[in-house]
Amino acid sequence: MPLTLIVTEGVLPKDREPETIARLSEAFLNLHGLAGNKFLTPNVIGHIQVVPVGSTFSGMKATPVAIVEWLTPSFAFTTQEIQIAYVKEATEIIYEVCGGKHPRENIWVNVKHAVDGTWGIAGNGMTNKQLLEAITKD
């Protein structure tokens, strides 16, 4: 499950990047009841894209931003309860890591779902059924 954190340069302290990815990933696993899952945990991956000041926009004006974006199979983030809880928790993680200096209204969270059968792990295109079987085998 790839996590992409897109931030404008200066929003996220460089020394807190690993912690931020870990906390966002742990929140995902915890809310789905999958903390410590032997199959899924190593397949929750993440990266941070730091973009130059002046290259991110809100309301058509240059604005420092933080965007938490997941790409998951369609069986993740399916309940409104999990969606609302994750958006709130992810926003608070970013806000706290930035020392309260980056406003919550400039933190966005979104989820995209992959097409069934196109989830590739170790060269294998897996269906949602295959993924669920691997996750529940733990």
Return the pLDDT at 138: 63
The yes-or-no verdict on residue 34 having pLDDT over 80 is yes
Is 2-136 CATH 3.30.429.10? yes
The yes-or-no verdict on residue 91 having pLDDT over 90 is yes
The yes-or-no verdict on residue 129 having pLDDT over 90 is yes
The yes-or-no verdict on residue 127 having pLDDT over 80 is yes
Q: Is 30 exposed, middle or buried (0-12, 13-18, 19+ CB in 10 A)?
A: middle
pTM of the model: 0.93
The arithmetic mean of pLDDT across residues 64-81, rounded, is 95
Q: How far, in Å, CA of 52 to CA of 57, rounded?
A: 11
Query: Which amino acid type is present at position 43?
Result: N
Helix (H) or strand (E) holding 125: strand 124-126
The arithmetic mean of pLDDT across residues 8-35, rounded, is 96
